[in-house]
């Protein structure tokens, strides 16, 4: 039951996001670009930090060897 | 009668308070998103360093946020206190996005910002992350609605003037929200805020790296900010081009002023002026250096279209001014007599009524009915001259904004490259440039505001309501009182803000603040007030 | 066109709702600010007091901003005219209000005693002054304001500003609103505070609530002798909204009581207010701060409802050209605008109430002068 509710909630969020994307994409191309672009900027910046941790990890391993 | 001194003082006060407010807004916009990015890493990796990172930059965010909120209050009320005719004339459509901003965005931002600061111990990790994202979303949605309102001033769509209520009435919600100008300006402004915040975080981190302090913390913050800033600074230029094109399509006097075009261009040779000293008085350049064949494709996206110069724009305005004068006199007659004939006369020229209002300040006793026939040509000429914004201000604000904007891309590119290679400390000049660049994006944002708003002059609502007509009918004494108060208060605020920013940036991450002074167990080793940080 | 009249009435009610939200939520924070120097005898106690409303003051303040925005959009002519005619008062209000966010954020960031003392004074000013001005402004509006419009809709002011501030009835209203805010602030301090803060706040709040009850009764009697305003002849509520060329308005003593005489059920509203002002202090005396706080909110509802009930449909009457008095009928936005705004308000108001309640629920509990480690970002 819990899982079912989760799936329904996720589906609703997805539907909302799709609606938003369709409306923004049709009438507000720049708004759409902002939504996609900002998400990308955040993800790239976060990925940079994760990469940093990977680099640190690699350096740590080489030193140990 | 409108007192020109009061109008000038009202403009001065609005410009001062808006520019001042806008010193803090871009950082709030960008830092809220950057905080969300940092906390995302915390939730993904689970490393406490990223929690500390979010909290440290959050502390600086808080110092900045408070003053942004305080000065924002002024903006919300200044339309009513100083621009009564404006508020009456467009309140039906301009007030709506401001109200929705409060309802939809500002409430969200302000409620969750409290939880963001106070809720670390009471919320689960994902819940707190969601709160941080809501703060970021709220502050950017705020910007959205404010810029939708501003978009209406630049390009008044979605409303129609009603002679019965003497104001513009709201007719199309979709047109207001999806106004091209509002769209492009929203993206341009918020992303400029991202650049500001990225430079801020990067610069402060560079300061630590140069001093070999908090290195693990600073290198990671630097990495996130550099990547964040690199993409943002690229995006902001794209949007700048889109806005320039909109000005070409919709606000030709602004574009002509930005490019310093005294005369209509001859495509495709027309040079893009790189350096010039435009003189508004004589309408020519004292010095001018340009690159040929650049301007036409840049602005028109074609090789053959000519761009109208200021001389042509003034010529084109003259018939509108004559029709506008007829429209406004008919409107006044209709207001006083309600006669259908006067209404019909108004309807004939109603789209030019703004130009009639613009002519009022040059008419005898500011009354269009008192213009003698032989004086009409000279009044029309003076009004036509008044339709052009200040070229010197536009020309240079724009050039400084663009030059620095491109410089940021270079700075972020080098910073990101050396950060990704983890060789920042071998290249201290990158760090030094990053550190000294902290205030520059703020300056650039101010230039952007000047280009957009000074370029809109002489209108408060482009083509419909002149700034001169918009002001409240105060006495000079009122204005002196409020101006003195604002200057005093705001000077004190900026001094306190800068002092605290420097103080808390110097103290660095890990400082628990005076908050815990009463409870923090005396540290057994190391500096007082600092927690143990194993990653140092 | 009937719909337009209905929309105007709905927005008048929503404006009342917003002003009540503002009075309750912002008033509570301002009460805490006013009491700060008196309930906290040392720095630790004052910091505890600030941190009780610390997570919420910013969200609460949006009621004020939203109030301004809603007047701008729903009653543009009222916004344009009232803010300008009350210029000096509005600017003083603004100056005192912008001190507050800065005071919260900056006060405890530096340890120097003089710095903190200075900001504590700022809290007193930014708590007491705005509440007095809110009340005094309402008091002045009840007596009418001197302004008129030219043909193009520009307002002109007919009287000097000193008059607006300094008249006994307006001052009474100002003190009434200050005492209600002290009551709500005190109740909040009791909810989240411990002795000795608790006891001191209790004393001030009981005093504030009782004084409010007394002033409310005096004000109610006084209003009978004030020249109120009433439409003379028929009015078309659905007419296009413009203050120019409106129907005649008469000024006469006791006109503000007309609505109460016409609809006796309206007497319930002041009764509710008075009940809140009397029962509130009793609840605090019985050490029931949550109940007391809600009774204080009821007192606000009653007070603002009474003013609204007396004045309806007037919003800001003019003493110098009474036919241009601003009312719900002639100062509102267009039907299209009011409808869109209503749609947004219907969607977002419940959402706001929901997350605000959640935020209060999440941050519930006592705040102690000796903070526990892990309490982040204490003011």
**Euclidean distance between CA atoms B444 and B434, whole angstroms:** 15
Is C235 domain-assigned? no
- B363 within a domain of the structure (yes/no): no
Q: Quick check: is B465 in a domain?
A: yes
> Which chains neighbour C (Cβ–Cβ under 8 Å, 3 or more pairs)?
B
Share of chain C above pLDDT 90, in %: 41
d(C-alpha C227, C-alpha C231), whole Å? 13
Answer whether residue C243 is part of any domain: no
Q: How far is CA C334 from CA B95, B275, C5, C314, in A?
A: 12, 49, 11, 18
B67 contact partners, CB below 8 Å, separation of at least 6: B24, B493, B497, C101, C102, C105
Bridge partners (DSSP) listed for residue A60:
none
Could you list the residue range(s) of the whole structural domain that residue B398 is in?
Answer: 4-165+174-253+388-514
Residue B18 burial class via C-beta count within 10 angstroms: exposed 0-12, middle 13-18, buried 19 and up: middle
Does one domain contain both B246 and B271? Answer: no
Q: Is there a contact between C50 and C104 (Cβ–Cβ < 8 Å)?
A: yes
Contact yes or no, A with B (3+ CB pairs under 8 Å): yes
The CB-based long-range contact list for B269-276 (8 Å cut-off, 24+ gap) reads: B269/B293, B270/B295, B270/B296, B270/B306, B270/B307, B271/B295, B272/B298, B273/B395, B274/B399, B276/B395
- For A39-59, what is each residue's pLDDT tens digit? 999 999 999 988 888 888 887
Nearest to B172 by CA among B252, B110, B92: B92
Cα separation, C241 vs B249, in Å, equals 35
User: Is residue B50, in this structure, part of any structural domain at all?
Assistant: yes
What confidence score (pLDDT) does residue C370 get? 64
Q: How many domains does chain B have?
A: 2
| Chain A residues 15-44 with CB within 8 Å of chain B | 27-31, 33-34, 37-38, 40-42, 44
How many structural domains are present in chain A?
1
Instruction: Tell me the pLDDT tens digit for each residue of C33-55.
Output: 999 889 888 888 888 888 888 88
Provide the number of CB pairs (under 8 Å) joining chain B to chain C: 290
C210 lies in some domain: yes
B128 and B198 inside one domain = yes
Residue to test with chain C: of B10, B63, B77, most C Cβ within 10 A: B77
pLDDT of residue B229: 94
What is the C-alpha separation between B466 and B445, in angstroms, rounded?
Answer: 25
Are the C-beta atoms of B176 and B170 separated by less than 8 Å?
yes
- Name the residue range of residue A58's domain: 2-64
> Does residue B356 lie within any of the structural domains?
no
CB contact under 8 A, C244 and B335: yes
Q: Is there a domain that residue C64 lies in? A: yes
Helix-, strand-, coil-residue percentages of chain A, each rounded to 5: 95, 0, 5
Q: Does B530 touch chain C (CB under 8 A)?
A: no
Q: What does the pLDDT read at residue B525? A: 38
Question: Does C177 fall in a domain?
Answer: yes
**Calpha distance C165→B384 (Å, rounded):** 45
Interface test with B, best of C70, C84, C324, C356 (most B CBs within 10 A): C84
Distance from CA of B92 to the nearest CA of C (A): 5
Q: A interface mutation test: which of B183, B235, B423 has the most A CBs within 10 A?
A: B183
pLDDT value for C46:
86
Q: Which of C54, C69, C109 is facing B118, going by the closest CB pair?
A: C54
Q: Is B529 on the interface with C (CB under 8 A)?
A: no
Ordered per-residue pLDDT tens for chain B, 536 residues: 788 899 999 999 999 999 999 999 999 999 999 999 999 999 988 888 899 899 899 988 988 888 888 898 898 889 999 999 999 999 999 999 999 998 889 889 989 998 898 888 888 888 899 999 999 999 999 999 999 999 999 999 999 999 988 999 999 998 999 988 888 899 999 999 999 999 999 999 999 999 888 888 899 999 999 999 999 999 888 878 878 778 888 888 898 888 888 888 877 888 888 888 888 888 888 888 888 887 888 888 888 888 888 888 999 999 999 999 999 999 998 988 888 988 888 899 989 999 999 998 988 888 888 888 888 888 888 899 999 999 999 999 999 999 999 999 999 999 999 998 888 888 888 899 999 999 999 999 999 999 999 999 899 999 999 999 999 888 888 899 999 999 999 999 999 888 888 888 888 887 655 443 333 333 333 333 333 343 43
Would B215 be classed as within a structural domain? yes
| Interface contact B519, partner C, CB < 8 A | yes
Same domain for B239 and B301: no
* Number of structural domains in chain C: 1
B184 within domain boundaries? yes
Residue C67 inside a domain? The answer is yes
pTM above 0.95, yes or no: no
Do A53 and B194 lie within an 8 Å CB cutoff? no
Interface with B, mutate which of C44, C45, C62 (most B CBs under 10 A): C62
Q: Minimal Cα distance from A24: which residue of B?
A: B178
Is residue B511 within 8 A of residue B529, CB to CB? The reply is: yes
Could you tell me if B210 and B64 lie in one domain?
A: yes
Nearest 5°: the CA angle B149, A36, A51 is: 130
Q: Give the residue numbers spanning the domain of C73.
A: 2-222+331-362
Closest chain A residue by Cα to residue B179: A28
Residue C212 belongs to a domain: yes
Closest CB from B66, B83, B85 relative to C104: B66
Q: What is the pLDDT of residue C164?
A: 63
Q: Please give the helix or strand (H or E) that residue C17 lies within, else none.
A: helix C2-21
Domain co-membership, B100 together with B198: yes
Minimum CA–CA partner of B489 in chain C: C95
In a domain, B358, yes or no: no
Is C56 domain-assigned? yes
Residue of A nearest to B417 (CA): A48
**Other CB atoms within 10 A of residue C377 CB:** 21
Band the pLDDT of A61: cuts 50, 70, 90: low
Determine the pLDDT at residue C162.
Answer: 63
Q: Which of C72, C77, C97 sits opposite B73 (nearest CB)?
A: C97
Which of B62, B118, B474 has its CB closest to that of C105?
B62
Q: Is B80 on the interface with C (CB under 8 A)?
A: yes
Q: Is the pLDDT of residue C118 over 70?
A: yes
User: And the tokens for B487?
Assistant: 């200057």
pLDDT, residue C114, reads: 86
pLDDT value, residue B521: 36
């Amino acid at each position: 039951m819990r899982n079912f509710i989760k799936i329904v909630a996720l589906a609703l969020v997805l539907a909302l996001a799709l609606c938003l994307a369709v409306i923004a994409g049709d009438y507000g191309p720049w708004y759409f670009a902002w939504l996609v672009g900002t998400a990308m900027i955040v993800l790239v910046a976060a990925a940079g930090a994760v990469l940093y941790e990977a680099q640190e990890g690699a350096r740590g391993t080489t030193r140990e060897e | 009668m409108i007192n020109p001194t009061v109008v000038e003082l009202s403009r001065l006060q609005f410009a001062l308070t808006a520019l001042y407010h806008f010193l803090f807004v871009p950082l709030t916009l960008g830092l809220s998103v950057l905080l969300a990015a940092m906390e995302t890493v915390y939730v993904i990796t689970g490393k406490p360093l990223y929690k500390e990172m979010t909290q440290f930059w959050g502390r600086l965010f808080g110092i900045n946020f408070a003053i942004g909120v305080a000065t924002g209050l002024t903006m919300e009320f200044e339309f009513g206190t100083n621009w009564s005719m404006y508020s009456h004339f467009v309140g039906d459509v301009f007030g709506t996005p401001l109200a929705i901003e409060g309802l939809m965005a500002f409430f969200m931002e302000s409620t969750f910002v409290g939880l963001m600061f106070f809720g670390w111990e009471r919320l689960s990790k994902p819940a707190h992350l969601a709160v941080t994202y809501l703060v970021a979303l709220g502050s950017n949605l705020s910007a959205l609605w404010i810029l939708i309102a501003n978009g209406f001033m630049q390009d008044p769509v979605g409303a129609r003037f009603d002679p019965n209520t003497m104001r513009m009435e709201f007719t199309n919600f979709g047109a207001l929200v999806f106004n091209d100008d509002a769209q492009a300006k929203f993206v341009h402004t918020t992303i400029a805020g991202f650049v500001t915040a990225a430079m801020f975080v990067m610069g402060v981190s560079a300061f630590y790296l140069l001093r070999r302090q908090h290195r693990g913390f600073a290198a990671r913050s630097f990495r996130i900010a550099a990547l964040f800033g690199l993409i943002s600074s690229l995006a902001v230029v794209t949007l700048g081009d889109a806005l320039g094109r909109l000005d070409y399509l919709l606000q030709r006097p602004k574009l002509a002023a930005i490019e310093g075009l005294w005369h209509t261009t001859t495509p495709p040779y027309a040079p893009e002026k790189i350096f010039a000293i435009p003189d508004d008085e004589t309408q020519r350049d004292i010095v001018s250096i340009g690159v040929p064949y650049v301007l036409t494709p840049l602005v028109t996206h074609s090789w053959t279209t000519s761009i109208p110069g200021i001389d042509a724009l003034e010529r084109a305005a003259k018939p509108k001014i004559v029709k506008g004068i007829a429209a406004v006199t008919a409107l006044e007659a209709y207001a006083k007599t309600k006669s259908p004939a006067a209404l019909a006369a108004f309807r004939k020229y109603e789209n030019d009524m703004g130009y009639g209002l613009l002519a009022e300040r040059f008419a005898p006793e500011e009354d269009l009915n008192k213009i003698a026939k032989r004086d009409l040509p000279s009044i029309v000429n003076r009004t036509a001259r008044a339709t052009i914004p200040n070229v010197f201000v536009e020309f240079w604000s724009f050039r400084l904004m663009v030059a620095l904007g491109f410089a940021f891309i270079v700075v972020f590119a080098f910073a990101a490259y050396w950060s990704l290679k983890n060789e920042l400390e071998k290249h201290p000049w990158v760090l030094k440039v990053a550190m000294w660049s902290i205030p520059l994006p703020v300056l650039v944002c101010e230039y952007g505001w000047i280009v957009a708003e000074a370029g809109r002059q002489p209108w408060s609502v482009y083509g419909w309501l002149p700034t001169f007509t918009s002001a409240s009918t105060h006495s000079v004494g009122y204005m002196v009182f409020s101006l003195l108060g604002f200057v005093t208060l705001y000077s004190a605020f900026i001094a306190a803000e800068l002092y605290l920013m420097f103080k808390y940036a110097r103290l660095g991450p890990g400082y628990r603040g005076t908050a815990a002074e009463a409870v923090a167990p005396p540290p057994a080793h190391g500096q007082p007030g600092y927690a143990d940080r194993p990653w140092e | 066109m009937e719909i337009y009249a209905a929309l105007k009435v709905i927005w008048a009610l929503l404006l009342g709702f917003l002003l009540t939200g503002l009075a309750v939520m912002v008033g509570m924070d301002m009460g805490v600010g006013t009491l700060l120097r008196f309930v906290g005898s040392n720095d630790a106690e004052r910091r505890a007091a600030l941190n009780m409303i610390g997570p919420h003051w910013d969200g609460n303040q949006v009621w004020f901003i939203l109030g301004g925005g809603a007047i701008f959009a729903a009653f543009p002519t009222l916004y344009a005219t009232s803010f300008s005619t009350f210029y000096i008062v509005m600017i003083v209000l603004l100056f005192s209000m912008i001190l507050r966010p800065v005071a919260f954020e900056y006060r405890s960031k530096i340890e120097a005693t003089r710095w903190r003392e200075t900001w504590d004074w700022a809290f007193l000013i930014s708590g007491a002054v705005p509440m007095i001005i809110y009340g005094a402004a309402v008091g002045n509006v009840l007596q009418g304001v001197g302004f008129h419009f030219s043909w193009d809709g520009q307002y002109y002011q007919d009287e000097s500003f000193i008059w607006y501030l300094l008249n006994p009835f307006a001052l009474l209203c100002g003190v009434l609103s200050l005492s209600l805010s002290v009551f709500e602030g005190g109740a909040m301090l009791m909810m989240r505070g411990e002795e000795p803060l608790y006891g001191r706040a209790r004393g001030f709040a009981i005093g504030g609530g009782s004084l409010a009850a007394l002033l409310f009764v005096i004000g109610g009697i006084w209003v009978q002798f004030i020249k109120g305003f009433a439409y003379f002849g028929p009015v078309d509520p659905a007419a296009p909204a413009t203050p120019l060329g409106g129907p005649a308005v008469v000024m006469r003593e006791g006109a503000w009581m007309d609505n109460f005489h016409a609809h006796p059920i309206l007497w319930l509203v002041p009764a509710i207010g008075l009940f809140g002002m009397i029962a509130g202090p009793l609840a605090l005396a019985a050490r029931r701060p949550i109940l007391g706080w809600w009774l204080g909110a009821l007192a606000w509802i009653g007070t603002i409802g009474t003013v609204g009930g007396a004045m309806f449909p007037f919003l800001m009457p003019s003493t110098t050209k009474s036919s241009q008095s601003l009312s719900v009928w002639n100062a509102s936005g267009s039907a299209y605008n009011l409808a869109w705004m209503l749609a947004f308000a219907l969607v977002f108001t419940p959402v706001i109430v929901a997350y605000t309640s959640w935020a209060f629920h999440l941050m519930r509990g006592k705040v102690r002068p000796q903070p526990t480690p892990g309490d982040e970002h204490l003011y």
